[in-house]
Every structure is written in structure tokens, then in C-alpha cells.
Structure 1
Amino acid sequence: MAHVSVEERRPQLVSAAIALMKREGAHAASTRAVAAELGVAQATVHYVFGSKEEMYRAVIMKLTDDLVAYVQAVDVPEFPDFEQCLAVLVNRLWQSLLDDPYAHLLLTELSVLALRSPTLKALVEDHRMVVDHVTGSLIRTTAGRAGVELLNDPILVAQFFLAGFDGMTQQHLAAPHPEAERWRVESLISATTVLAIGTPLQRSVPSVREADPLT
């Protein structure tokens, strides 16, 4: 069998780990299971990563990079309306959840696990910082395209938006409800617009019966 370098094997193992964890959960990603997923010896996983924690680190970085690249790929339109511009970005991010919910679930699982690990906790903090700054940059760009001035720090606005989006992600994963979710997304866009440029927007609110699939 031809020798495969670490540089070539590492992304293969990361992809195998992600596929396994999406299917069975983060807890299932033992080095033995990841090796079996790719069809290599367990020793290969240990050689490439050194530890299970380092493998988790590589997976978190890959998921983060993919999500950031997905959102950054959108072309911010030059609408004369901040809310319309922002809606394009938010809908792109929401679509990433609809397209691959298990990627978002896995990132959530790994983030919680990492908070219990002193070495991985710093990685989670770095992950949040990267996402905050990328989102803040997009908000700044959106304001520029719309020709308006931001009233608050775009990073703070981004953190507010991301906190709301994280909550909506959990709601979708636990109990998806398309009609209620559309209202939540539009309301989050409105609230973020108010914080960003101070323009209040009116949204019709669905009744509790419409929003709650259990009623």
C-alpha cells in the first residue's frame, strides 16, 4: 500500500470523524471508530492527531471554517435598505441550518464538551471570537452597502444576533416549526436592525396556537 503523508491523511480523518459524529453523535468518535470509518489502522489516528482531544480540535476548526466560508460566500446586495441587505445574510445562515442540521448539532455538542476541557475551552473561545468578528464585518459591510451609519459597535450587534440565532437553532433541532421559525427569523432581523441603525420595524405576531406545535 502506498504511503500517505500526514498532511494528506489528516483531512481524510477529519472528514471521517465528522461523518461518524453527525450520524452517531460526538460521544461515538473514539479513535477506533474513526479509524474504522476511514478503513485505516487505529494507530494511524493516534499518529496523525496524538490524542482524541486534538481530533476534536480539528473537527471544531473544520466545522467553523466551513460555516464561515458558507456565509462569506454570499454576495451582499447593494439595496438602499439595511434590513433587506441583512435579510439576505440571515437567510443564507438559516439555510445552512436547514441544509445540514447535523453539522450545527455536532458543533453544539462539541462546544459543550470542550467547555469541560481546559485545553479545548480556549478553542471554543477562539471559535466564538472568529464568528463574532466575521458576523460583525458582514454587518459593517451591509451598512456600507445600504448607505447607513451604524449606531452601535458591529461586534456587539453581531453578538446579540448570534445569541438569538443560537437559540433559534436549538429550537429548530428540538422541535422544528416552519411557520413559527419564519416569524422568529424575521423578528431577529428586525431587532438586529433596530440595534444597528435604530429603525423600528413592525412585525405581525403569530398567535400562541400558531407558533406552538403542541397546542
Structure 2
Amino acid sequence: MSEKLQAIGDTISAGLPGAVTGFDIIHRELNVYANAADIVKVVRFLRDDPNCQFWSIIDVTAVDWPQRERRFDVVYHFLSPKQNARVRVKVTTDEATPVPSIISEFPGADWFERETYDLYGVLFTGHPDMRRLLTDYGFEGHPLRKDFPLTGFVEVRWDDTQKRVVYEAVRLNQEFRNFDFLSPWEGTDYRLPGDEKAEGGKGA
């Protein structure tokens, strides 16, 4: 398998000089590194070249590295039934620089790109419907960024009396964002069966 992946990687590098910056094989998986501006050309080559034939798109997602200037890896996964192999393509971008959409070559990337925009804030140019996909209308922020608050600040729920979605501030018994590890948790104001055991065997 490694020899096959090495041959595919060599084919991709030779066929896309300048667009592909390198490749490696880690844990028997082929990783290709490309320039974001050339991603459409790269995926077209992966699909059409007879030594590749990666016809099936599996996923488009991202990884957030907030300490980097170009904080996002945009990651594409493809499958070649002909070669019985997979390839992972990575490009980098920042919060303001969009990545070209690959919908022209792989229409199935439509919702994958929308999901990546919704959860990470990565922008795609040329996408016909760049709206949020998983979060609600008016949602602020991108939940899978590393700097997104773990609990959020509002919760969304359906109010059956008002027959609509309502937004309410999140109420936490303990403030997670400024947690004082020396303070006790707020507990219940009622007794539970067995509490008397924690009180030295005294009855209720």
C-alpha cells in the first residue's frame, strides 16, 4: 500500500508543480499539501488523472490553530474506488481570506463547505448559497473555533406557549468562565436519600 501511495503522491506532485507544495504518508495515509488559491485545479487533477481517479468526495472540514497567522487548515478527503485508496488534501487560510469553492468540480461539496463556514468561519468564494447550515438564524460566532466559549452565552429552545423559538441567557450554578477552584460547587437546597451517611450517621 505504501508503494502505491508513494506513486500516487509522485504523480500528483509532478502533475501540479507550484499548486502542490508537497506530500507525505503518515500511518499509511496520503496527505497532500496545496496552495489554497489552486484548490480547484488540484481537485480536478485528482478526479481526472488516470493514475488518480479520486471520483468520490468524502468530506470537507477544517482544523483551527489559533496561534498561527493562517489559523485554519481546510481539509478535503477523497476516495478512489479504482485505486482503492484515499487522499487527504490540506490548504491553509486565515479568518479573512476566502478559499475557492470546489462545487464546480464536486457538487457534493455544497453542504460540506457550508458546514465548514458555519462551524469555523472559513469563507468560500463561488459558493452559490453560503449560509449557515447547523446553527440557528442570528447565531453569533463559530462553535468549533478553539476560542469559542465552551458554554456559550445564550441557549435556544422552542417555547410551546409562544409557538416560536426563543433565546434566553444561559444560567449556570457555577461560573465556568471564571471558575474559582477553591470555592465549593453550589449544591441542591433539598436532602437526598443517603445524605445522613455523610453527616456521621445522624438521622434526617
Q: Which has the higher helix share?
A: 1
Do the two structures share a fold, i.e. TM-score over 0.5?
A: no
| Higher Cα radius of gyration | 2
Report the TM-score when normalising by structure 2: 0.25
Higher percent of residues as strand: 2
Q: Which has the higher contact order (CA 8 A, sep 6+)?
A: 1
TM-score by length of 1: 0.24
